[in-house]
Amino acid sequence: MYNETFFVVLNINNIHKNNHKTNTMAKTNITTLLIGVALLLGTVACGPSLVIQNVDYSQPVESVLSPDNDNIVHDQRYAVKFNVSPVLNEEGTNSVDNVHLIRNDAGFYFVTASGFQNVYVFETAESELQLSSKIAITTEGLGEPAFNQRQDHIELIDMATGDTYRLTQEGIQ
């Protein structure tokens, strides 16, 4: 009987020690988990802190692109590819021989073509170009448009008429 009582007391002490170890481990694991979550949330909330300023996105020379059968234009030199159909629809036509494209230093794309009355200015978004502004140029339509990159603007020349326009993403200067 004495040995059985000693064994029960010894087992109760072992159970208490094991429970204490388990509780201590659980508290340590929970504390570690909470610290990890706090660090993760702090990092995500702060976001990236590296910013490169004064980036010049400009293309020095316009691209003259021929749409394919699906009205896709692809400028391999500057790595841009898009469907020009929405612009053609806006201009009231189904096709053009060439699309003229240039990008200014702020990163806006300028798009026009022969016969267009407007220049379309697009800004980039994730996997899309969003219309920023539509610049009315002429009611007769451009004859032979050509873009040039200038210091503080995009120059549009209609080679057919000799008319010149100073463009920014906001409009004609």
- Percentage of the chain exceeding pLDDT 90: 72
Q: Check whether 93 has a pLDDT greater than 70.
A: yes
Same domain, yes or no: 164 and 86: yes
In a domain? residue 56: no
How many domains does the chain contain in total?
Answer: 2
The range of the structural domain enclosing residue 45 comes to: 1-51
Same domain, 97 and 166: yes
Nearest-Å Rg of the Cα atoms of the chain is 33
Q: Is residue 97, in this structure, part of any structural domain at all?
A: yes
| Residue written as token pair 């898009």 | 82
Supply the pTM of this predicted model: 0.72
Cα separation of 29 and 173, whole Å? 64
Q: How confident is the model at residue 168 (pLDDT cuts 50, 70, 90)?
A: very high
The mean pLDDT of 4-19, rounded to a whole number, is 51
Domain membership of residue 57 (yes or no) is no
**Does a structural domain hold residue 72?**
yes
Q: Looking at the structure, tell me whether residues 81 and 162 fall in a common domain.
A: yes
The C-alpha atoms of residue 39 and residue 102 are separated, in whole angstroms, by: 44
Q: At residue 101, what is the residue type?
A: L
Report how far residue 134's alpha carbon sits from residue 71's, in angstroms, rounded to the nearest whole number. Answer: 20
Q: Which of 11, 30, 51 is the last residue of a domain?
A: 51
Looking at the structure, tell me whether residues 12 and 94 fall in a common domain: no
Q: What does the CA dihedral 24, 27, 28, 30 come to, rounded to 10 degrees?
A: 160
Which helix (H) or strand (E) element contains residue 112?
strand 109-112
Q: SS3 string of 121-136?
A: EEEEECCEEEEEEEEE
Q: Report in angstroms the alpha-carbon separations of 133 from 37, 52, 140.
A: 44, 26, 20
- pLDDT digits 0-9 by tens, 104-118: 999 999 999 999 999
- As a whole number, mean pLDDT of residues 57-66 equals 95
- Which of 134, 159, 161, 165 lies closest to 145, judged by CA? 159
The mean predicted confidence, pLDDT, of the chain is: 87
Cα angle for residues 64, 69, 73 (degrees, 5° grid): 30
Examine the pLDDT at 171 and tell me if it is beyond 90.
Answer: yes
